[in-house]
Amino acid sequence: MNKIILIIGLLIIGLSSCSDTADSNNLDSDNYDKKDERVEVLKKEIKTFREIENAEFELFNVNGFSNSRTTVPGASSWDYKFVIKVNPSDIDKWTTGLIKIELDGSDKAWMDKIIEKRKNNWKTKTEPEFYTRKGDNVTLAVYRTEGIIFKRVINN
């Protein structure tokens, strides 16, 4: 009898891990047509400091995401790339605790890639300010006048 219960338990676990969301390690805003939907999905995965008006993202998390975890997470590894549109008066809330740095902006390929589907929503006219957090692999590119923030966070 115990063997049958064990086999049934293993089958349930095995079948539940076959779903699309259970093994999903990637979230991509290209899969969401509506702006409100993109914003809500992103807000579940990041810490927000004020209202977000628009968002695009490419998130990778080896443990999956908040809506897809069915098991205890293992070692953490992630690469979160996103851009958000906020009220320009809220920019300082997103840069608190970060250090302004000098970058030439040459590594913009990740920034261009996450907005390529809806480029018209992310037009900028100013030069970005760059920020990082000491001891972490965090990069922020801030277009202060436009209220646009690109952020990349990597944890290996």
Report the predicted TM-score, pTM, of the whole model to 2 decimal places. Answer: 0.78
- CA distance to 60, 62, 65, 136, per residue, from 156 (Å): 11, 10, 16, 11
**92 — pLDDT class (breaks 50, 70, 90):** very high
Q: Using one digit for the tens of pLDDT, what is the confidence trace for 119-136?
A: 999 999 999 999 999 989
